[in-house]
């Protein structure tokens, strides 16, 4: 609805500029000229409308093709709009009428009625380009509709920075204790085998400030460290009850230095937790989670 309203306002503005000046002009074949003027300005209005979408709309990864299409349409709207201004020029009209041995002089209304073929020749170019653009702009507008979800509120890219916490930390939820216990037990088993020298437990936490598109959480550590991701959850609320949903799309590189966690669309105030263990192969290396682990949202 928002984009439809913006498109409507762009068209009204374009029409207002032409109609406002046309009232005070007395030109031969005024109706045909008015149609050409309106169509050319409407196409330039499409260009401004598409520019507003590119500036204001947050395109998720799955909308990258749509973004490229909008760039192409923007270029075409500018080309068609400028071409339409040429088609609407007085010199072109006079050339067409000259072929019919028809001469209009001065600024008074012409009393000679044009045949259908001549009238179509005057407006057909602008009408065809306008029709093509209108179809594709309409498809763009309706393609943006899925961006509104969760009761109609517009979804956005995640805004907040994620927080890295070293376990234990203040306010740690009770449900995390079992997962951290298992990570700790695994770490204790690896130390005697000389697979690691030391470890630390940590949590990657993020809270949604608004409705968001699906996104990817990334954890990365430098060479000499490895990560063990035990579990990832999204915590939401339904009817005042806290609900935990596991995130199962977790992948890593062969060295276990880089982990990605796929997160679905989130509602406002939903929380995402990633529970992990930071392992070091060197006893002298720091295991400060905040200093070593790099966290980002993509």
What average pLDDT is seen over the chain? Answer: 77
- 11 pLDDT band, cuts 50/70/90, is confident
Does any domain span residue 7? yes
The mean pLDDT value for 43-71 works out to 80
pLDDT score of 288 more than 60: yes
Q: Which of 126, 149, 172 marks a domain boundary?
A: 149
pLDDT at residue number 122 = 77
pLDDT score of 99 more than 60: yes
Does any domain span residue 154? no
Distance (Å) of CA 145 to CA 27, 209, 210, 213: 43, 21, 17, 13
The mean pLDDT value for 39-50 works out to 83
Do 187 and 128 share a structural domain? Answer: no
Do 261 and 229 share a structural domain? Answer: yes
- 242 pLDDT band, cuts 50/70/90, is low
Do 178 and 125 share a structural domain? Answer: no
CB 90 within 8 A of CB 61: no
CB 32 within 8 A of CB 126: no
Domain total of the chain:
2
Does any domain span residue 212? yes
Do 219 and 124 share a structural domain? Answer: no
Name the residue range of residue 273's domain.
163-297
Do 9 and 143 share a structural domain? Answer: yes
Does any domain span residue 157? no
pLDDT score of 21 more than 80: no
pLDDT at residue number 148 = 44
CB 187 within 8 A of CB 277: yes
Does any domain span residue 53? yes
Do 224 and 200 share a structural domain? Answer: yes
Tokens of 73: 């349409």
Tokens of 128: 């065809």
Q: How many residues does the chain have?
A: 298
b/e sequence 136-160, b meaning 16+ C-beta within 10 Å: bbeebbeebeebeeeeeeebbebee
Neighbours of 292 (CB within 10 A): 20
Tokens of 184: 């700790």
Does any domain span residue 217? yes
d(CA 77, CA 50): 9
The mean pLDDT value for 85-102 works out to 70
pLDDT at residue number 149 = 45
Do 220 and 127 share a structural domain? Answer: no
φ/ψ (deg, to 5) at 283: -65, -20
pLDDT at residue number 128 = 86
d(CA 158, CA 261): 14
59 vs 201, which has greater pLDDT? 201
d(CA 278, CA 242): 28
Residue 236 three-state SS: strand
Do 198 and 172 share a structural domain? Answer: yes
The mean pLDDT value for 263-271 works out to 80
Do 185 and 137 share a structural domain? Answer: no
Q: What is the pLDDT of residues 193-227, one digit of tens each?
A: 778 888 888 888 888 877 777 888 888 888 888 88
Do 11 and 134 share a structural domain? Answer: yes
φ/ψ (deg, to 5) at 32: -65, -40
Contacts 24+ apart (CB under 8 A), 25-32: 25/107, 26/107, 26/108, 26/109, 27/90, 27/107, 28/104, 28/106, 28/107, 28/108, 28/109, 28/110, 29/93, 29/104, 29/110, 29/114, 29/122, 30/109, 32/93, 32/114, 32/119, 32/122, 32/123
Query: Is the pTM value of this prediction over 0.75?
Result: no
pLDDT score of 24 more than 70: no
Do 271 and 183 share a structural domain? Answer: yes
The mean pLDDT value for 161-188 works out to 80
Does any domain span residue 156? no
User: What percentage of the chain reaches a pLDDT higher than 70?
Assistant: 77
Tokens of 75: 């270029």
Q: Which of 149, 179, 206 marks a domain boundary?
A: 149
pLDDT at residue number 147 = 46
Q: Which of 125, 149, 173 marks a domain boundary?
A: 149
84 vs 94, which has greater pLDDT? 84
Does any domain span residue 65? yes
224 vs 88, which has greater pLDDT? 224
21 vs 202, which has greater pLDDT? 202
pLDDT score of 262 more than 60: yes
pLDDT at residue number 241 = 57
CATH code of the domain covering residue 275 = 2.60.40
Do 260 and 210 share a structural domain? Answer: yes
- 152 pLDDT band, cuts 50/70/90, is very low
User: What percentage of the chain reaches a pLDDT higher than 90?
Assistant: 0
pLDDT score of 274 more than 80: yes
* Beta strand residue intervals within 106-224, DSSP E: 148-149, 153-154, 163-166, 198-207, 215-220
d(CA 21, CA 42): 16
């Amino acid at each position: 609805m928002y984009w439809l309203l913006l498109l409507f306002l762009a068209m009204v503005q374009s029409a207002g500029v032409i109609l406002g000046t046309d009232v005070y002009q007395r030109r031969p074949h005024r109706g045909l000229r008015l149609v050409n003027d309106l169509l050319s300005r409407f196409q330039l209005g499409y260009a401004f409308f598409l520019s507003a979408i590119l500036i204001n709309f947050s395109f998720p990864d799955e909308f990258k093709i749509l973004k490229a299409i909008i760039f192409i349409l923007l270029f075409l709207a500018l080309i068609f709009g400028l071409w339409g201004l040429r088609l609407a020029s007085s010199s072109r009209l006079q050339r067409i009428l000259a072929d019919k041995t028809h001469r209009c002089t001065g600024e008074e209304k012409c009393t000679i009625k044009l045949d259908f073929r001549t009238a179509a020749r005057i407006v057909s170019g602008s009408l065809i380009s306008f029709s093509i653009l209108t179809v594709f702009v309409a498809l763009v507008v309706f393609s943006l509709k899925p961006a509104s979800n969760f009761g109609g509120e517009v979804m956005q890219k995640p805004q907040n920075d994620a927080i890295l916490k070293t376990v234990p930390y203040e306010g740690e939820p009770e449900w995390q204790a079992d997962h951290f216990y298992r990570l700790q037990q695994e770490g204790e088993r690896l130390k005697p085998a000389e697979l690691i020298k030391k470890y630390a437990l940590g949590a990657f936490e993020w809270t949604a400030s608004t409705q968001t598109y699906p996104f990817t959480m990334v954890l990365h550590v430098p060479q000499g460290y490895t990560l063990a991701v035990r579990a990832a959850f999204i915590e939401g609320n339904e009817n005042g009850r806290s609900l935990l949903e596991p995130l199962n799309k977790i992948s890593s590189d062969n060295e276990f230095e880089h982990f990605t966690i796929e997160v679905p669309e989130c509602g406002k105030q939903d929380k995402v937790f990633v529970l992990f263990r930071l392992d070091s192969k060197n006893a002298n290396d720091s295991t400060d989670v905040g200093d070593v682990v790099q966290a980002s949202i993509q």
